[in-house]
């Protein structure tokens, strides 16, 4: 199972030079000892670029064009609208709770899996991947069944005046569930490859467990941890399915950014929908940049 995780990590973008980094020969030139005819080269490169253009660039450009179709003033109004601002706030709030939770869980899980052999270890490794395998809608349904009014814990929660579903706690729970593999998956292969010798050295030199963690382990995994946090945050802010089920789509109150886009779209407010969507695009691009920057640091270490 660990191998599977390690392979998954290797598949992720940070192994090898980041996409687009200059790797040796100029673009289009054959790389060492291959003597494919020019037309093969051009076709393959053309197909790759064509795909990215058609399925990634064109839709992104469309979002921006649609968002600005009615002019900058309309764009500003759509974003400054109270419901939109509330969606932005809710999205950041939910992420600000879910991401730290996953950092704590991810570091603890990675530490346990990389350093110890214990019963249930391989089950834990498998379970960490569960949120990636399960459809987010199902995750949302599970929380609904547990905490909803008709759910298992529903009556008890109602009696005590605690609102989980259709409120912030439900949104945070769903977001946390969906994003919890990211930090752990990033750290496990990293910590396994680094080994524990430096930690042993620290302990023999007189460091307590906490000193060892803060002074040795954390600096060692710092960039991997940042990378996991960026992935986790990007996913937390963009999550739709699970949050959609538990939030109740209450405009201005329980709608996160992606949900707000959907609400606007369903109300035929296309321009406003695209304006808000463009915010998500900006967040996504920012996280891409952060990934590129951090991925280089991870490789260095």
Partner 1 sequence: MTIEVRGLSKKFGAFAALDNVSLDVPGGGLIALLGPSGSGKTTLLRLLAGLERPDAGSAWIDGVDLASQSARQRNVGLVFQHYALFRHLDVYENIAFALRVRKRPRAEVDARVRELLALIQLESFERRLPSQLSGGQRQRVALARALAARPRVLLLDEPFGALDAQVRAELRSWLRRLHDEIHLTTVFVTHDQDEAFEVADRVVVMNRGRIEQVGAPAEVFEHPANDFVMRFLGHVNVLEAELGDGRARIGDVTLAIDSAPGGPGRIYVRPHDVELARAPADGALAARVVRVTPLSSGLKVDLSVPALGSRLRADLDWERGAALGLRDGEDVFLSLRRARAFARPPSAAGEDTTADAA
Q: Which residues in this chain contact partner 1 in the complex, by CB under 8 A?
A: 197-198, 200-208, 211, 215-216, 219-220, 222, 301
Nearer to partner 1, 47 or 301 (CB): 301
Residue 239: which residues within 8 A CB-CB, separation 6 or more? 136, 174, 175, 178, 179, 256, 258
Nearest to 219 by CA among 243, 202, 241, 238: 202
Shortest Å, Cβ 219 to partner 1: 4
Shortest Å, Cβ 207 to partner 1: 4
Nearer to partner 1, 201 or 289 (CB): 201
Nearer to partner 1, 149 or 215 (CB): 215
Integer Cα distance of 166 and 239 in angstroms: 16
Integer Cα distance of 152 and 164 in angstroms: 13
Nearer to partner 1, 182 or 227 (CB): 227
Nearer to partner 1, 137 or 218 (CB): 218
Shortest Å, Cβ 83 to partner 1: 46
Nearest to 98 by CA among 249, 286, 292, 234: 234
Characterise 210 by phi-psi region: left (phi > 0), alpha (psi -120 to 50), beta (else): alpha
- Both tokens of 94, joined, read 């939910």
CA 182 to chain centre: 7
Beta strands per DSSP E along 136-248: none
Q: Which residues of 249-288 are buried (b: 16+ CB within 10 A; e: fewer)?
A: beeeebbbbbbbbbbbeeeebebbbbbbbbbbbebeeebe
Nearest to 231 by CA among 187, 190, 291: 291
Shortest Å, Cβ 301 to partner 1: 7
DSSP state of 30: P
- Both tokens of 85, joined, read 């601002």
Shortest Å, Cβ 155 to partner 1: 50
- Both tokens of 17, joined, read 């030079």
Nearer to partner 1, 25 or 195 (CB): 195
Integer Cα distance of 27 and 41 in angstroms: 10
Shortest Å, Cβ 20 to partner 1: 27
Shortest Å, Cβ 102 to partner 1: 24
Nearer to partner 1, 200 or 267 (CB): 200
């Amino acid at each position: 199972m660990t191998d599977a995780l390690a392979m998954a990590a290797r598949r992720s973008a940070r192994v090898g030079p980041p996409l687009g980094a200059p790797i040796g020969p100029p673009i289009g030139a054959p790389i060492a000892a291959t003597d494919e005819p020019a037309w093969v080269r051009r076709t393959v490169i053309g197909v790759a670029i064509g795909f990215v253009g058609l399925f990634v660039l064109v839709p992104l450009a469309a979002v921006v064009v649609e968002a600005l179709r009615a002019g900058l003033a309309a764009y500003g109004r759509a974003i400054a609208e109270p419901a939109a601002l509330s969606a932005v706030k809710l999205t950041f709030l939910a992420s600000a709770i879910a991401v730290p939770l996953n950092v704590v869980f991810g570091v603890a899980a990675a530490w346990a899996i990389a350093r110890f052999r214990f019963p249930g270890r391989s089950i834990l490794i498998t379970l960490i991947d569960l949120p990636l395998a399960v459809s987010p809608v199902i995750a949302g349904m599970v929380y609904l069944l547990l905490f909803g009014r008709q759910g298992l814990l529903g009556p008890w929660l109602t009696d005590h005046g605690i609102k989980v579903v259709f409120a912030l706690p439900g949104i945070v729970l769903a977001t946390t569930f969906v994003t919890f593999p990211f930090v752990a998956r990033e750290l496990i292969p990293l910590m396994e490859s680094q080994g524990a010798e430096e930690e042993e050295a620290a302990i023999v030199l007189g460091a307590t467990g906490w000193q060892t963690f803060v002074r040795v382990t954390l600096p060692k995994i710092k960039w991997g941890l940042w990378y996991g946090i960026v992935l986790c945050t990007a996913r937390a802010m963009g999550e739709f399915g699970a949050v959609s089920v538990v939030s109740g789509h209450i405009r201005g109150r329980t709608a996160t950014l992606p949900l707000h886009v959907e609400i606007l779209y369903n109300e035929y407010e296309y321009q406003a929908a695209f304006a808000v969507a463009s915010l998500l695009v900006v967040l996504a691009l920012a996280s891409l940049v952060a990934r590129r920057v951090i991925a280089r640091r991870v490789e260095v270490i």
